[in-house]
Amino acid sequence: MQAYYIIGLMSGTSLDGIDLCYAQFYNNGTESYALLHGKTIEYTSEFQKQLRKANQCSALELMQLDADLGIFFGEQIKLFIKENNIQQIDAIASHGHTIFHSPQHHLSTQIGSPAQIYAITGIKTIADFRSIDVALGGQGAPLVPIGDQQLFSNYSSCLNLGGIANISFDQQQKRIAYDICMCNMALNYLALKLGHSYDKNGNIASSGQINLKLLEDLNQFHYFSSEPPKSLGREQFDDWYLPLLENSSISVPDMMATTVEHIGMQIGKNIPKGNCLLTGGGVFNTSLINALKKHTQSTLEIPNNNLIEYKEALVFAYLGMLRLTNRKNTLSSVTGARRDSIGGCLYG
């Protein structure tokens, strides 16, 4: 039985840091995996500041940040390998960090130079998973659904509560997936106003009151009435959510409680019946989970902490394995592209 050993790297829109995982993939009649090691590395405050403003950089500044982030990724992967005494690695699969996501303008840009990762680690590195799908007319996102379909087929749907909340499920024998709404990107932004990097256990939200006017405004985003395939990025947060939050005169706890209720309502409208696998940092937000339970009839299943924290990195490792073996890893039924494709550029 052929097995592949891949390191997956994910840097999400919530700007918490990077998730690394070391996984084994094999096929014993069905696609199977073993998540062997995982680690989260927080970004320094300086990196967070740079990444938050990267979409406003000059071309030279962005290229420098791309190189610097790639060096950081490479050094952290090298340390991760040493800490866990990892001996066998077929490839590194890096999502990178998204700076621009504008498929309607034919682009989705991730930084964190894979050339630097390869130069530092000496290990084959796969990156730039989204570009070919965008070139084929797709959204370039979400990419995780093929992993949901193949590795987590015992669930009716898979919901990720990351910087952006996204969902995937089978419909009429095709995998469907899309971004639902902002999630930790909005909640972390509000937490920063009170000097916190995130709302631990949802304590800030639970101390606030829902403001019906802000809730109504948040729920009117035109994106919610559009049909998939569709995806969100920081651009939509800056253009839509940010002005509503900045122009509101209510307290931060009230904004937090209202945003949590908004997220719960939007997700509740989009979860199909059955059992739903919940992963991503938002799973640890008790207020958010309570809002989801209030707005859905589906069975919400929360797995072990390793899978909660590292599922996205695990699936990108899986996408890397598919790229390495020249198999499709991007579904046109999800992205709206003209055809399925094999995404990812190989270095090394």
Backbone angles phi, psi at 24, to 5 degrees: -110, 135
CB atoms within 10 A of CB 248: 17
CB 210 within 8 A of CB 248: no
Burial class (CB in 10 A: 0-12, 13-18, 19+), 273: exposed
Cα-based distances in Å from 275 to 158, 271, 289: 9, 9, 15
Q: Token match 């859905």: residue?
A: 296
**CB neighbour list of residue 348: distance below 8 Å, 6 or more residues apart:** 118, 122, 123, 124, 125
Q: What domains does the chain contain, in order, with CATH numbers?
A: 3-145+316-347 (3.30.420.40), 150-305 (3.30.420.40)
List Cβ neighbours of 171 (8 Å cut-off, separation of 6 or more): 272
Statement: the pTM of the whole predicted model exceeds 0.95 = no
Cα torsion at 219, 139, 315, 342 (round to 10°)?
Answer: 170
Spell out the per-residue pLDDT of the chain, length 348, in tens.
Answer: 799 999 999 998 888 899 999 999 998 778 999 999 999 999 999 999 999 999 999 999 999 999 999 999 999 999 999 999 999 999 999 999 999 999 999 999 999 999 999 999 999 999 999 999 999 999 999 999 999 999 999 999 999 999 999 999 999 999 999 999 999 999 999 999 999 999 999 999 999 999 999 999 999 999 999 999 999 999 999 999 999 999 999 999 999 999 999 999 999 999 999 999 999 999 999 999 999 999 999 999 999 999 999 999 999 999 999 999 999 999 999 999 999 999 999 999
Cα–Cα distance, 153 to 256 (Å, whole number): 34
Longest CA–CA separation in the chain, Å: 61
